[in-house]
Amino acid sequence: MLKDMLARRAVPAGGAPAAQDMGDAPVRRGAKPEGEGEGKAVVRPRRRRSYGVISPLTRHILTVNLLALALLLSGLLYLERYQDWLVQRQLDVLTTEASIFAGALGESAMEPSTDEFNEPSGTLSWTMASQVVRRLGDTTDRRFRLYDTKGKLQADSRVLSLAKGTRVQIEELPPLPDGNQLTQLGIDLYNAIVRALPTRDHLPVYPEGRATDGTHFPDVQKALNGESSTHVWRVAGDAGKQDMVLTVAVPIQRYKQVLGAVLISRSGSEIDTEVREFRVNILKVFGGVIVLTVLMSIYLASTIVRPIRRLAAAADDVRYGHGRQAVLPDFSGRHDEIGDLSQSLRAMTSALWDRMDAIERFAADVAHEIKNPLTSMRSAVETVQLVKDETRLRKLLGIIADDVGRLDRLISDISNASRLDAELSRAEANSVDLRRMLTMFKDIHDNTLGARDEDEDDDTPPPPTVAVDLPPANRNLVVPGIEGRLTQVFQNLISNALSFSPPGGKVVLAAKVVGDRVEITCTDDGPGIPAGKTEAIFDRFYTERPAGEKFGTHSGLGLSISKQIVEAHNGRIFAANRTDSTGKVLGAVFTVQLPRG
C-alpha cells in the first residue's frame, strides 16, 4: 500500500536517483563506492619535495618576466631603421661635399683656350685638380678620386706621386685599441655577434682593385652622364668583419659641359661605432632594468611561494598527522587569491572536522537505536525458553518478529542515509517542474488512497484529501535539482501530513514565487507540532507519532533526510503551527524554499 510508504515525521528513507551537491551547500564526504580500493596499494605519507633556493614557481616567474624583456631588447638592438637613417644622412653630407668640390674644380682648375669658333673655352687642369685633391685628403677622412670623361683615374687622395713616376699608396690605420681590457673584450664580443648576423649580404662587393677604371663604378658612369649618384658597398674587414663603404659621384661641369667626375668614398666604421654605442647604452639601461626585474620577480615569487608552501605543509599535517593540533595558517588579511585559498582551506578543514564529529554522533545514535530492538529481542528469546503457555508463547514470538522487522527497517534507512551524501555529490542537476510534480502527488492520492471502495460502509470516516494551490500557468515553477530526491522530500512531507490529519481532513500543497526562489508549503489539519520541537523534528531518529500508531513502525530519519536533500539544493526547510485568531493550533505547515532555475 502507498499509505504504508507515505508516513509523517519519521518516514523511511526510500531509494531515489543520486543527486548532486548544489550551490554553497556544506562540504560533504562522499561514501566510498562498493569495491573501491580493493586490491589497490595504500597511499603512504610522503615527504614534501625540497626545491632548494629557487622554487619552480620562482623560476617560471623569472622566465616569463625576463623573456618579455629579452624580446623587447632584441627588437631595440636590431636598429635596422636607425642604421639606414645614419647611412642616408652620411650620403647626403657626402653629396653636398662632392657638389661643392666639383663646383670649385669647375671654376678654379681650368686652363684657358678657344674653341673652333674662336670662342673662349677651357679644359680641366688635372695637375691643379690633383693638388687640390691631395690637400683635401690630408685634412679629411674622405677619399677623393677624379676621373676624366673616358673614366680614367686622374687623381686619388690616397695615392702620393713622387719623382720618377713613383706612387705611394696611403692606407688609413685602424683606431688604437682601448686600454681597458674589459671594454675591448666587450667590443670583440659585440663584433663577433655582428659578424654572425647576415645583415649586409645584400650589399654589392666594393671593387677596390679596379678603382683605376671608372667603368666599374656605376656611380662614376652616371656622373659622366651628368647625374649625381650614391652607393653603399660591403668590404671584407678584419677577422671576417663586413664593413660598409659609402660612395658619392658628382659630375664636374662648366657651362653644362661635363669635364669629368669626382668620386668621394668614406668608410662606414663611424656608423658602426655610433650604432654600437647606441646599443651599449641600451644594454646599460636594460642591465639595470633586468636587475630590478629579477629582484621584483623574486619578491613577487616569495609572496606567492612561501604562503603556498606553508599551506601545503599544514595540509599534509592535517592529512597525515594525528589529532587536531595542525592549524592552517590564516592569510585572509592579504585580500588576494592567496587569502581566498587560505580561507577556503580553513573552511574545508573545519567542515571536515565537523563531518567527522557528525559521523561519530551518527554512529553513536545508530548504536543506541539498534540496541533497543536487540534488547527487546534478547528478553523475548530468554523468556520463550521458560514459557509453556501457547498464548503467551505466540505473543512473545510476535514481539520477536516485530523487532526483527523494526531492525530491518532501521538498517535499511540507516544505509540509505549514509549513502545520501555520496549520491548527492555524484548526480547532475536538471530542470525540475514543481507544478507537474505536486499535481502528480494529488492525482496519485485521488486514484489510490483517497478513493472509497464500493462495498465500504457509508458510516466509515472518509480519508484525508489532498489539494493543490498553484499560481497561474504563466508563472515558472522550475528549479534546478535532482527530481528523484526532490520527489522523496515532498513524498515525506505529504506522508507525514496524511498520517497526522484526522478523517475527512485536508492536506494542501501550495506553491508561489518569492523573489528568486520558489516557496512550497504543505499544510494539514492535525494536532500540530509540540511546543519547542519545530527544530528537533529534523534531528536524526526523532519520532513524534500520532496516538494509537504502533511503536517502531518508523525509524525517525525521514525529515532528517529531507532537510539534507533540501540544503544540498541550496534551499531551506522549516516547520511551524497554523493557529487561528485565538491562538488555537489548527495544524502544521512545512515550508520548502528552493532557488529558481
Report the predicted TM-score, pTM, of the whole model to 2 decimal places.
0.48
Q: What is the mean pLDDT of residues 196-202?
A: 64
- What's the confidence (pLDDT) of residue 53? 57
C-alpha cell at 469: 494551490
Start and end residues for every CATH 3.30.450.20 domain found in the chain? 79-267
Q: What is the CA radius of gyration of the chain?
A: 51
- What's the confidence (pLDDT) of residue 589? 93
Q: What is the mean pLDDT of residues 391-408?
A: 81
DSSP symbols for 116-185: TTS-EEEEE-HHHHHHHHHHHHHHSS-EEEEE-TTSBEEEETTEEE-GGG-EEE--PPPPPPPS-HHHHH
Q: What is the mean pLDDT of residues 140-157?
A: 85
Residue 27 has pLDDT above 80, yes or no: no
Q: Name the burial class of residue 66, with classes exposed (0-12), middle (13-18) and buried (19+) by CB atoms within 10 angstroms of its CB.
A: middle
- What's the confidence (pLDDT) of residue 235? 81
Rounded CA-CA distance 252/220 in Å is 11
Is residue 37 within 8 Å of 442, Cβ to Cβ?
no
Q: What is the mean pLDDT of residues 251-275?
A: 84
Average pLDDT, the chain: 75
Picking from 19-23, 174-178, 256-260, 511-515, which range would have the lowest pLDDT averaged per residue? 19-23
Angle of the 269-320 helix axis to the 80-108 helix axis, nearest 10: 170
Q: What is the mean pLDDT of residues 475-487?
A: 87
In the DSSP assignment, the letter for residue 216 is: G
Residue of 443 and 45 predicted with greater confidence? 443
Residue 144 has pLDDT above 70, yes or no: yes
Sequence-ordered alpha helix ranges (H) in 217-336: 218-224, 269-320
168-174 contacts at long range (C-beta below 8 A, 24 or more positions apart): 170/137, 172/141, 172/267, 174/238
pLDDT digits over 564-596, tens only?
889 888 899 999 998 888 888 889 999 999 998
H/E stretch holding 487: helix 483-500
Rounded CA-CA distance 103/223 in Å is 13
Could you say which architecture CATH assigns to the domain 1-20+428-597?
2-Layer Sandwich (3.30)
- What's the confidence (pLDDT) of residue 594? 93
Strand 506-514 and strand 465-469: the pairing is parallel
309-312 contacts at long range (C-beta below 8 A, 24 or more positions apart): 309/55, 311/341, 311/342, 311/345, 312/48
Instruction: Provide, rounded to the nearest whole percent, the portion of the chain with pLDDT above 90.
Output: 8
- Class for the domain spanning 330-426: mainly alpha
Is residue 470 within 8 Å of 477, Cβ to Cβ?
yes
C-alpha cell at 77: 638592438
Residue of 217 and 191 predicted with greater confidence? 217
C-alpha cell at 49: 619535495
Picking from 115-119, 252-256, 326-330, 409-413, which range would have the lowest pLDDT averaged per residue? 115-119
pLDDT digits over 152-196, tens only?
888 888 776 544 455 555 566 555 565 566 666 766 676 666 665
Residue 339 has pLDDT above 60, yes or no: yes
Picking from 250-264, 290-304, 440-454, which range would have the lowest pLDDT averaged per residue? 440-454
- What's the confidence (pLDDT) of residue 183? 66
- What's the confidence (pLDDT) of residue 554? 55
Single-letter residue type at 296:
M
| 3 state SS of 480 | strand
- What's the confidence (pLDDT) of residue 572? 92
- The confidence band for 83, taking pLDDT boundaries of 50, 70 and 90, is confident
- Locus of grid cell 518516514: 11
Residue 562 has pLDDT above 80, yes or no: yes
- Class for the domain spanning 79-267: alpha beta
Backbone angles phi, psi at 449, to 5 degrees: -70, -35
Among 13-17, 49-53, 144-148, name the most confident range.
144-148
Among 62-66, 93-97, 202-206, 417-421, name the most confident range.
93-97
Residue 521 has pLDDT above 50, yes or no: yes
pLDDT digits over 404-433, tens only?
877 887 787 777 777 777 777 777 788 899
Q: What is the mean pLDDT of residues 236-252?
A: 78
Start and end residues for every CATH 3.30.565.10 domain found in the chain? 1-20+428-597
- Picking from 140, 416, 100, 448, the residue whose alpha carbon sits closest to that of residue 266 is 140
Start and end residues for every CATH 1.10.287.130 domain found in the chain? 330-426
